[in-house]
Structure 1
Amino acid sequence: MKKTPHASPAAAAFVLAAALLGAAAPAVARDNPVDPVSNPDKLDYRDVEARRPDFKEPFLRDGVVSRPERFREIKPGITQAQVLAVLGQALKQQRGALGTEWDYHFKFQMPQSANYLVCQYKVVFDDSQAVRSAVWRRRQCLDLLPR
């Protein structure tokens, strides 16, 4: 007669605790973060989704390296041609709730660091194609701009 191995009481307790913790883990929120300072109109940004084969890529979202002082030139009332001259071609253009939206991804070097932060930036134009507003997805990006 063959003996069946039994798990130790400690291993059984570990498996039970892991199962209970897994069941009680909170769901991951997929909502767009809204920051009243950097994005007061609650404009929407597209998230990046990764599936297992995509993990081999070094970055899922990358941006053009930029100097933060350039963004002082983007003000309400300037034209699309002026925005193009300062920021270049938008990554994406679409119609949004407040008008035509141009989406950009920029990469800023972090202060006192060799690391970079990729920032999403949106310029919104009114019906006359003048800038209505320009907003950052996250406040960390707004905070990198010189005052």
Structure 2
Amino acid sequence: MNATRLPAALALSLAIAFGGASLPGPAAAELDVVDPDRGFPRVSRPYESMDAAFSRVGIPRSVAQIRQVRVGGTKADLVRALGRPVSAYADGSWNYDLSLDYPQANRLVCQYRVYFDAAGRVEETVWRRPQCAAVVRGGRRRAP
């Protein structure tokens, strides 16, 4: 499956920002792809007085929980690792809003989309934000 690759300048700046953490090459194509244009739902809250329904609240999850997600894993495996998704799409993919510990802040809310193959097994995972992938990847995660 084709995965969107990070532009070289963004990859370099992320590697520097995260202490030289390597970004994925072709070996990690199915896990932790970064693609903000992959159809993630968008919410914005430009005014503090705006109703809280317009802000995204992530479910706290650890990096260890996210690293349990594997290509070929079942939907039951995914629910055990991350819980129920916040939404599902017509293409069968699931969307999660996850809250992760972030080195430069208290928490980082991340959108994480999981795609399944025809047998209902994990085929690909996609992050909306490169910061989220970098936190989970930590320079070490690779597709099995």
Q: Under TM normalisation by the shorter chain, which class is it?
A: 0.5 to 0.7
Pair 1:40–1:120, CA change in 2 (3 A) = closer
User: What amino acid is aligned across from residue 134 of structure 2 in structure 1?
Assistant: D
TM alignment of 1:58-137, pairs within 5 A: 60-96=55-91, 100-111=92-103, 113=105, 115-137=106-128
Tell me, yes or no, if the aligned pair for 1:75 and 1:134 is still in contact at 8 Å: no
Partner of 1:26: none
Structure 1 window deviating more from structure 2 (67-76 vs 43-52): it is 43-52
Structure label with greater radius of gyration: 1
Matches of 1:136 and 1:125, distance apart in 2: 15
Matches within 5 A, 1:16-95: 36-37=5-6, 38-39=33-34, 43-50=38-45, 55=50, 57=52, 60-95=55-90
Percentage of matched positions with identical amino acids: 28
Alpha-carbon distance change, 88 to 36 in structure 1, aligned in 2, over 3 angstroms:
same
Aligned residue type for 2:103 = P
Cα separation, 1, equivalents of 2:36 and 2:127: 11
Higher relative contact order (CA 8 A, sep 6+): 2
**Cα separation, 2, equivalents of 1:53 and 1:41:** 25
Q: What runs of 5+ residues in structure 1 fail to find an aligned partner?
A: 1-34
Structure 1 residue 77 displacement after superposition: 0.6
Secondary structure class of the residue paired with 2:67? helix
- Cα distance in 2 for residues equivalent to 1:111 and 1:94: 31
Summarize deviations over 1:5-45 as a string: whole Å, max 9, x none.
xxxxxxxxxxxxxxxxxxxxxxxxxxxxxx62433695211
Give the equivalent residue in structure 2 for 1:21.
none
* Aligned-partner Cα distance in 1 for 2:68–2:48: 40
Instruction: Please give the alpha-carbon distance, in whole angstroms, between the structure 1 residues aligned to 2:35 and 2:50.
Output: 33
Letter in 1 for 2:56: R
Gaps (5+ residues) in structure 2?
A: 7-32
Alpha-carbon RMSD: 2.7
Q: Deviations over 1:73-93 (max 9, x none)?
A: 211111111111111101001
Contact 2:97–2:112 (CA under 8 A) maintained in structure 1? yes
TM-score, with structure 2 as normaliser: 0.65
Aligned-pair CA distance for 1:135:
1.2
